Structure 1
Amino acid sequence: MTTQDHRDDYLDLDAIVGSLDDSADASTAGDADGTAPAARAALHHSSYATAPGYRLKVRQGPGTDTPVVRRLAEGARIQIRCQTRGQRVSGPYGTSNIWDNIAPGEYVSDAYVRTGSSGMVTQSCMN
């Protein structure tokens, strides 16, 4: 994937969020962190690249002490359903205690996912 491809990913996301912001009304007032629910929904369906050169372990919970349920293919893209805080992990994209839920009972460390942010990019998981 080229640098231009990454720029295109961000431009597409900016266009989606921008169009949602333009159409926001009182029923889509921002959440506590200032993100409109419609924008969160758009982000929820975004696809993110995992770190190149890794077959990322998918775990049953937000920590390395939970069982591995499967491995992702190298270069896989994921959709993040929600995010939660768990064990702090260091990876190619920094050190983070954020874990991305990609399916029921399936979590990957955000330190191995290129979200373009050091914080959460979607809603918190309801535990």
Structure 2
Amino acid sequence: MVAGLTAALLMVGAAASEAATTRYYSVAPGYELNVRSGPGTAYSVVRVLPEGSKVPIYCQTPGSTVTGPYGTSNIWDNVSNGQYVSDAYINTGSDGYVADRCSN
């Protein structure tokens, strides 16, 4: 009983710690942003982020090249399970990768 409770508390603590360390990045001002089912413009739009949104970047992967307010990039940011946005519309402060590469 105590071992099970201890394991459950450790899992809750780990989840809280992960949530506390997640960094959020801003979508370029003045833009609504398509969230796609994969890293490219050929993938379907699963939702649209409203102007002023901030997103977490869990990992990044190469995909189709997009030109946006932050330049031209083939980097796609994973913002949720199976959901990607073009890094050319996210203010990461870098032209390169700011997160680990997504494992395929």
What TM-score do the two structures reach when normalised by structure 1? Answer: 0.65
Q: Does 1:78 align with 2:55?
A: yes
Between Structure 1 and Structure 2, the one with more helix by share is 1
Q: Deviation above 6 Å: which 4+ runs of structure 1?
A: none
Counterpart in 2 of 1:91? 68
Q: How many residues align?
A: 85
Superimposed CA distance per residue, residues 20-58 of structure 1 (whole angstroms, 9 cap, x where no aligned partner)? xxxxxxxxxxxxxxxxxxxxx8xx711100011111000
Between Structure 1 and Structure 2, the one with more strand by share is 2
Counterpart in 2 of 1:65? 42
RMSD, aligned CA: 1.2
| Identity among equivalent pairs (%) | 58
Amino acid at match of 1:90: T
Highest Rg: 1 or 2?
A: 2
Correspondence 1:1-127 to 2 at 5 A: 45-127=22-104
Structure 2 spans left out of the alignment, 5+ residues = 1-17
Q: Which fold has the larger relative contact order, with Cα–Cα distance below 8 Å and residues 6 or more apart in sequence? A: 2
Amino acid at match of 1:66: Y
> What is the alpha-carbon distance in structure 1 between the residues aligned to residue 24 and residue 84 of structure 2?
15
Structure 1 spans left out of the alignment, 5+ residues = 1-40
Q: CA offset at residue 99 of structure 1? A: 0.1
Amino acid at match of 1:105: G
